[in-house]
Amino acid sequence: MKSAFTTKLMQWNRTRNKRTMPWKGEKDPYRIWLSEVILQQTRVEQGWEYYKDFLKAFPTIRHLASAPEQKLFKLWEGLGYYTRCKNLHATAKIIVEKYAGIFPSSYKDIMSLKGVGPYTAAAIASFAFNQPYAVVDGNVQRVISRYFGINTPVDSTAGKKLYAELADSLLDKENPGLYNQAIMDFGATICKPRNPLCEQCIQKKDCQAFQHGWVLQLPMKEKSIQRKNRWFTYYMVKYKNRVYIRKRSAKDIWANLFEFIIKESNHQQEQANALTASIISDVIGTKDFKIHSVSPFFKQQLTHQTIFGQFVTVIVPEPLKDKSFQLVTIDELSSYPFPKLINSFLEEQ
């Protein structure tokens, strides 16, 4: 027997849910997986165009698996959290090699895929294969927390277990895919983080948060995000109308994207010192250079950190000895994937 919550939610979904998305109602597990990976750290409005572009470039898993990494990252450019893109590529190859290009249908096999967690696995299993697995994302946690009046932090061990159990208990086992989409849509359009539409909510009579005035206090989180600032000085070193770039490989932000020669500073004053001739000489590996221009500061806000970047264009008469960098023409720069910070600079050149 369905709970009152589930019955009302499904009624709302049939009669009032007007939320549209290009992947809504999709049954192809490849397309569902792609949309879920794109949306992991991305707003629907932003992810929409990326989703369509990816499907155009890679209509099947086999197309994705055989794609050159550089092309993949270029398409992903601007979405951030590039580990998602790397995992997408790796998983496509696994599906081709292990499952003959056919997306696995069991929850256990889906969970074993690289970069796939309980939420994404539940979404694929329920949307594509109508299997009874409840999705638990931020929207779902918020709806459940407010409805039941739960103040257990959603990011605590106890909270994760509790919300998963409650989500499963509310799931419409006969229509899991439809239900999962409905509760996420409900959280996104009615039970919103800010300015929730409580007066329009069909659950308000039974919602503990609404009845007790707790709506804006729930859900609660245990951990606060620790933010930090970082200062990057980029040296755009030119030799005969070509520029030195390299792929960023460190286990850090923007791995697998390209960059110019870089010096990271610990604070703003140290970054200012990076413009002195001796420091430039040490970083680029030659004393024979000419500073052509120094850019204003560019800023990129990430989830946990803010990057302040400045670009120094340097001309050298001889090739650099550092073989970890490659020389490309100015025109070729547009074919390489760069962080948004660097693209902002290049767009002004």
Q: Which two tokens stand for residue 91?
A: 């998983």
- CA-to-CA separations, 254 to 81, 187, 239, in angstroms, rounded: 7, 31, 25
Buried b (16+ CB within 10 A) or exposed e, 37-75: bbbbebebeebbebbeebbeebeebbebbebeeeebbbb
Of 337, 342, 340, the residue nearest 67 (C-alpha): 337
Candidate list 36, 69, 222, 332, residue with the active-site label: 36
- CA-to-CA separations, 249 to 255, 266, 282, in angstroms, rounded: 5, 20, 21
Interior angle at CA 328, CA 243 and CA 343, nearest 5 = 65
Residue 281's identity, in one-letter code, is S
Is residue 259 part of the annotated active site? The answer reads no
Catalytically active residues are 36
